[in-house]
Amino acid sequence: MASPTKRNKTKRPSLFDGLEIGPSTLSHRLSGPVNLAESLCRSMRSTLRLGEGTVCARSLRGVETHFTIAMDSAYDYKILHQEFDPEAVFPEIVALGNQLSEVLQSHLTSEQEAAFEDHILDCLARMVYGSNMIERAGAGSQITLKLCHAIFRGEKIPEDIGETDEEFLTLKQSLVRNNLPADTSAVLRSRREIVQHAKAAAYIVNQLCIRGQDLSEEIILETHRILTYRVDAESTPWTEYSGVYRSAEVSAGLHPFPHPLLVPHLMKAMIGELEFDLKKAMDSGTIDPIAMAAKYTHAFVNIHPFIDGNGRMCRLILNTLLLKLGSFFVSIGEGQADREVYLDIATNASALEDMYQDAEDEEKPKLYKELSSFVLVHVKRSMSKLIKAVAR
């Protein structure tokens, strides 16, 4: 979502006051360089090894569970003003998953293995690029993909660059082409917005999908801290808001987000409800990764727990849950039309939150249905591309 208007800012003590948040500290928390694409390839092969519409995921407290992918009743039959039939598309997703499972369990050639890893690498990088574009952050696709590829391969890149560096000039040209400020501070900021976003993605994906951890407040706070490291908000230095729940009221247009005093309780309740939903899925043996990821993306962004970075964080949560529970990827916001549709859907969902804010939980409809349908379309597109890349 677009950056909200901030009001009545007061500094809230960080849970991590006195702890240095430099790159060496972050590297330590990531437990050294990780080739994320390579690790995800192994993880996806393990998750999809069963086929027949079934995935194997460490979903709750590290317990390995078999889930049958089954459609929830959490989809809309329109995406904005366009008719959409989720009941026709969802079975195609299951079929594509089975097809991908067969491909990955076969003996891949070295060229196919390389294509698999390269495609995952590109998906991760485009995920960052599209998410940044929604917020008018970062820079053009070429330099974004170059930086992200290096980070996701586990390569070390310099924290800062000089004005004569070729990378600096490329970033500057990208900002100029987009009619954005292109002074030295703007160029360096755009680079940090790419680099820190990629590092935040590497952290949360590594924790949930590679290490098998559950989504938690601690992981969310740490991901946000990495995302916003040395990136000041509009009127707040990064040292005051990075990795800390907001202490100011915020809104997007006419939609006010919850009062800051409610944020800790709402975040705890969100994580508790996610654990409850996963436990239900474990008991039933069925899961809809797309609807579940959309539900908690919607919940997070409508709590809006941070001063800045909520939109990028909600899309990191979306992709990480999709990967963990279904081995799905989506890249949202690469094109202008896609960004406009996504933002309209987010605005509609926030308006529904206002409409039903006083309703009892049992009376409240699923306000993320349109988002679920939108994500479903992107999952189908992404899976089709992955199969073509690996099976060629």
Stretch 118-140: mean pLDDT: 97
Of 133, 130, 233, residue with least CA distance to 178 = 133
Q: Edge-to-edge, what's the strand order for the sheet holding 255-256?
A: 5-7, 249-252, 255-256
What's 5-391's CATH class? mainly alpha
> Structure tokens of 312?
């990028």
Residue-level pLDDT at 157: 94
pLDDT digits (tens, 9 = 90+) for 211-249: 989 999 999 999 999 999 999 998 899 999 999 999 999
pLDDT class for 11, splitting at 50, 70, 90?
very low
pLDDT digits (tens, 9 = 90+) for 141-153: 999 999 999 999 9
Of 133, 382, 233, residue with least CA distance to 390 = 382
* Reported pTM: 0.90
Residue-level pLDDT at 170: 95
